[in-house]
Structure 1
Amino acid sequence: MTSTGTSPRRPDDIHDTERGLRVPARYRHDWALFTDWCAAADRSPIPASPDTLALFLHEHPAVAATQRRRLSAINAVHTRHGYPAPGRTETVRRHLDTARAQRLDRLGCLLMQRARELPTEGWPSGLFGRRDALLLVLAATGMTFTDTTRLRRRDIRLDGNTLVVTTRAGERFLLAPDPEAGDNPVVGIYRRWAEIQAFLDQYPGTHLLRHHLTDPIEVFADPLDAEQAREPLLCPIDRWGHLPHGQPMTPQSVSTLVRAHLLGRAPVRKVLSTPPQENLDTRDEPKVHLDSTYYERGLAARRRDHEALEDLADIFDEIEVRADALLEDLVSVLEGL
């Protein structure tokens, strides 16, 4: 990201000549500490990533008030020069507020449990279940609902057995395997939803998708093209199972769904029966017998119709002339009233 502008110079600003930055005087020591550490760690001080800031705070332990002041200093320099404040991300907030981090961890465990319980097959329950499971996984990270709705398909990927999610602001969430069990259910949850999107890339429409969720076939996912990569990761689903690819969910709808799942009040989607798909290869085509004069009679009929309709253009012209005359008469009558 490039700088989008700077704020007016203030009398108490300190000039960082090395980087051409203006630093509030009250923050000069905190900013100097941060830039010195970045130079030693080979990190960029501006724009600084949330991971960089979290690592800096981790390697410079201090009381909460001191850490908040350092955070304010780094945020202030960034916002003054047109960059987003890296300290306003979930990664940094968790580091500063351990009590909040513990609450979110407990909430995340509950959300993950709910996600694993959702159906993955059947129509339309499997469709809603796959999407909502990934939605709950993202909510378990502490990511804001707004950031969740801004995610695009290109913003989520697998790195081995770890799911990597990158927000628009550049904050990365790593959903790694369980260190004790070694498995990572998040990977399966993501793959099941990605399979739905890959299927719709190849077979748009809900008719075939309905059969896929009741009698799955193997789907080979091709690399995303530019248009697919820009599509929302999560999209709304109507009661008929239609998914508008280009329309993201709203933060309000995500919030409502997450709360409903947490409270056990999420809508229960009844599994509907799917009629058997017709086998087009074995269907008998009706046999049509054409006599020897079929084509000659067809050509003769077309010539006859062409001759009969030859004067049609003149008839329409005459109708138009009469309509104009009637309109003029009507205008004259109205003007005489």
Structure 2
Amino acid sequence: MRYSLVELAPVAPGTSKSAALERGLAAAGEAEQLGYDRIWFAEHHHSTGYASADPVPMVAAAVARTSRIRIGSGAVLLNHHSAFAVAERFMMLQAMAPGRVDLGLGRSSAGGLIDAALRRDRDSRPVDDFSAQVQEVLGYFHRAFPAGHGLATVDLTTSVDGVPDVWILGSSVASAHLAGQLGIGYVYGAHINPAATWAALERYRESFVATPFGSGVPRPILTLHVAAADDDEQAHRLTWPARALRAGGRDRPIPTVEQATAELSGRDKALTSAVRGDVIPPQIAGTPGSLREQLEPLIRATGVAEIIVQDMLTDFALRSRSREIIAKVLGSIDAPPR
């Protein structure tokens, strides 16, 4: 079973974004040592709580600190960027680390003001052209524009060994369908919309068409928010910063476990952090034993061969121990047959 990380570079109260970015980069080396398959860096604009505003410099810096682990974006928010600019930047990263670069593509709003600030042309109305943008990126990587297309003569691949592996990250059935139709990998954010997990994975597999853009077979990945510790009570508490962030507003540093303990209501603290049957909570927690009891049946039921883990932990020791436990648990589970 493969296991990976998405790193947000969370900012702890009283600390700087410089410190958060350094911890985020250190996470790449640690993840490589723990056997993680990949680490992806997030894109969060104008955020007090997350230092990773742009994945590209994080990927470049992490590539220089590691030798094996795949490194990429989780995700580049394509609605804020030119497809050409994204493709060119990631081809540059591919030249720096052939065979190790992933381009995860998604879309999201940073709020009305920042969405407008990110736009080059503020006089025209924004359009939802995510599908066309993804296809344009793939066109650059694979020289796949139709004959006569204005961009058919553009070649970003000259003198570069290979191209980045492209994934669509989403939390809806629509994103699953798009990934399937394009024949590329799909990462479903079960921590964002757990209720639609089963429908999205089914749609991805049903709609999958083998294309030159992917491996030829469906590659679904599940993203889960997971926290682990050596006792279940402590592990459950490690989910509270994420809950406090949702309850108390996002425009602030990530709460510590102690702050979250003081802020959350008894009801919020008591919300389950355990997978029960086909019900996936937004935050999952456990010990080595209880996590395996939860995750192995979920992996069997979903048929995914890889889990990407997210957390909201700013305490270095707690985070490191959590990720060590998760690596051991997921590494001990056999991947389901394709």
Q: Same fold (TM over 0.5)?
A: no
Higher helix share: 1
Relative contact order (C-alpha < 8 Å, sep 6+): which is higher?
2
Which structure would you say has the larger Rg?
Answer: 1
Q: Whose strand proportion is higher, 1 or 2?
A: 2
TM-score normalised per structure 1: 0.22
